[in-house]
Amino acid sequence: MTDDLNQWQKLAAKELKDRPLDALTRTTLEGIAIKPLYTAKDTLDLPHMGALPGFEPYTRGVKATMYAGRPWTIRQYAGFSTAEASNAFYRKALDAGQQGVSVAFDLATHRGYDSDHPRVTGDVGKAGVAIDSVEDMKILFDGIPLDRVSVSMTMNGAVIPILASFIVAGEEQGVLRAALSGTIQNDILKEFMVRNTYIYPPEPSMRLVGDIIEYTASDMPKFNSISISGYHMQEAGANLVQELGFTLADGREYVRSAIARGMDVDAFAPRLSFFFAIGMNFFMEAAKLRAARIIWHRVMSEFGAQMPQSLMLRTHCQTSGVSLQEQDPYNNVVRTAYEALAAVLGGTQSLHTNALDEAMALPTEFAARIARNTQLILQEETGVTDVVDPLAGSYYVESLTASLVDQAWALMQEVEELGGMTKAVASGMPKLQIEDSAARRQAAIDRAETVIVGVNKYKLNSQDPIDILDIDNVAVRDGQIARLQKLRANRDEVASTQALAEMTRRAKEGGNVLEAAVEAARARATVGEMSMALEEVFGRHSAKTQTLKGVYGAAYANDSDFAALKDELATYSQTRGRVPHMLVVKMGQDGHDRGAKVIASAFGDLGFQVDVGPLFQTPEEAARDAIAAGVDLVGISSQAAGHKTLAPLLVNALRAAGADHILVICGGVIPSQDYQFLYDAGVKAIFGPGTHIPDAARDILHLLQRPRN
């Protein structure tokens, strides 16, 4: 082996001529050095080697036969404005080969607001289905046999009323809760780190997680009580070590919490599941799932779990939304196919594939069909299901698996030193680490060190528009309000009030809150009312806003163009007697703040004075903050399709207050078809997905220099 390796090095050096062999070694965002060649020497003495599929530590899969015995479950995560529209999509997809339903809720529902609440004007039906009560839930699953079709629900904030409404909808369909199968995400720790669709503070939120684990362990043996999610961490900018380490640390915390309630680990652990993102780092993503199974086996062994099902990590995966691009969007079909293959080679139990147009809006039926067929082709045409774990024994993949195990475990130990994940989240450590990673990755893209085809290399000179789905938010909200009014007029008000009071009592004095919520749902209490019944005791959480300094700018330390832009900003500041002052806002219930934080960090490093407003503002609140701070411009960060409602309201609020000298700009997931509407509403500049941040900063500086009308 040594002689062969020496000969390879000589041959490689000859082929490279003037370049050193070390030039072929690269370091990933995770800090892992990737060599150009791996040999048997790299896999010597790796502790995970040797075990067969279905055997501990489950590196090669949780089933002995894996896909050769049964392929992974094809799921499509979807929610379209109304329960009726979503139901039609689910039924058509099931008829076309989809094997389970995965529900996307709108942001008003996530945050525990009914559709008639004044804070959710721009959110109802825009990024998922609006669910206000059992009546909506019954329509959502009309004609879908809940005793045969498993249902996955991505819900964390309003998890109690949503799960209660699902249980009652099943019962009224004739399906007892013991026969219901599927998963509720119920992963609140992740919300405080990245996604921000929380309602209550961390401690009472953790109590509600425990109530659900307890209730489902007793009454819903086929239902997974929690899906511990790394997906949203990667979408927020986490590298793969962070996604792996923080996700499994969350899982460890949930297990610890359930055991502290007196539950036996083997009574609930078999119903825990995980959810990971699958991005474009092909082999590392496959290795990540293998590493996750090794680490989870280690964690559960430490808790004394005895049943094999308690020691196995089962996971759902979704191809990355962040890797999708608005520019040259048909490339997204290719990206999704590669990501889907990586998830399958990593051994996922179920999979959702994103549609090509999801960088701009909810998927059209055409795009969703291509995404679903991507999985059907993988299962039926490629032969990938013929062999159990075909990557096993790969020198590179096995070495990469070991590296991920070691680095993720070290990160988990950092969390333990802080007192566990609940305390780590309260300290802000995971959130800041993820935001640091996001800023570094964005700088690498902007500098074209990380190539994105069609965005920073191989760009099209012009791009043909594609059809996208446009939701009439006003019509959806009007329909939901009418249904709420009818429900409240026809229900037994005394029974509903009493059931809500019992939820409040249990929140205050003890007892399983989900059990009480099921009774409230039967009495036709709404999602918002049930959430408020708990809020009376727990309060509503408000996060502190922190921004990074120096991370984005450090990547441009020796860049002459970046330095020239900083000089131009300095000259502007000297001329005007102040640096340009920007307020970055997130309005509505959209908690995805990766873009806002990266922009704030990058613009601050360039020389702007940047304030970041609190999450979940109304346009009127954002306008008041902008005026009070005396800013030159307000930057709206939008990712959940509320821009057509919220941006004009902000412009009008500033104008009504006599502050129309404050410029309004928009950035984020905004389809080009919406640009003219926003310009006509008074927005001065729009920066869509894939925007080069220094170019955007220069455009904004020039905008500020123009004479004002």
Label the pairing between strands 223-224 and 226-229: unpaired
CA 260 and chain centroid, separation: 29
Query: What is the spatial distance between Cα 9 and Cα 351, in angstroms, rounded to a whole number?
Result: 41
Any idea what the Cα angle at residue 474 is, between residues 469 and 480, rounded to 5°?
100
Label the pairing between strands 609-612 and 33-34: unpaired
Query: What is the spatial distance between Cα 446 and Cα 693, in angstroms, rounded to a whole number?
Result: 7
Provide the token pair at 282. 């092909």
Query: What is the spatial distance between Cα 609 and Cα 671, in angstroms, rounded to a whole number?
Result: 28
Q: Report yes or no: 158 and 199 within 8 Å, Cβ to Cβ.
A: yes
The helix, strand and coil proportions of the chain, stated in percent and rounded to the nearest 5, come to 55, 10, 35
Provide the token pair at 656. 């009504």
Continuous segment of H or E residues that includes residue 665: strand 663-668
Q: Which residue has the tokens 């790796």?
A: 46
Strand partners, 101: 76, 151
Query: What is the spatial distance between Cα 142 and Cα 547, in angstroms, rounded to a whole number?
Result: 46
Q: Report yes or no: 437 and 240 within 8 Å, Cβ to Cβ.
A: no
Query: What is the spatial distance between Cα 515 and Cα 503, in angstroms, rounded to a whole number?
Result: 9
Q: Report yes or no: 388 and 60 within 8 Å, Cβ to Cβ.
A: yes
Query: What is the spatial distance between Cα 408 and Cα 284, in angstroms, rounded to a whole number?
Result: 13
Ramachandran angles phi, psi of 502, nearest 5°: -70, -35
Q: Which residue has the tokens 């990058």?
A: 602
Per DSSP, the three-state class of 130 is coil
Per DSSP, the three-state class of 151 is strand
Sign of the CA dihedral running 422, 423, 428, 431: negative
| Residue of 695, 623, 688 whose CA lies nearest to 661 | 623
For the chain, first and last CA: distance in Å?
A: 76
Query: What is the spatial distance between Cα 506 and Cα 515, in angstroms, rounded to a whole number?
Result: 10
Provide the token pair at 490. 């026809």
Per DSSP, the three-state class of 318 is strand
Region for residue 538 given its phi and psi (left: phi exceeds 0; alpha: psi -120 to 50; beta: otherwise): alpha
| Eight-class DSSP state of 708 | P
Q: Which residue has the tokens 């998963």?
A: 183
Query: What are the start-end ranges of the H helices in 382-512?
Result: 395-417, 421-427, 429-446, 473-490, 493-509
| Eight-class DSSP state of 461 | S
Strand partners, 611: 583
Provide the token pair at 522. 């039967």
Q: What residues are labeled active site?
A: 77, 231-232, 586, 590, 592
| Eight-class DSSP state of 24 | G
Query: What is the spatial distance between Cα 71 and Cα 664, in angstroms, rounded to a whole number?
Result: 50
| Eight-class DSSP state of 585 | E
Strand order through the sheet with 182-184? 223-224, 182-184, 151-153, 100-103, 73-78, 350-352, 315-319, 272-278, 226-229
Label the pairing between strands 33-34 and 26-27: antiparallel
Whether omega before 161 lies within 30 degrees of 0, making that bond cis, reads no
Q: Report yes or no: 305 and 295 within 8 Å, Cβ to Cβ.
A: no
CA 9 and chain centroid, separation: 43
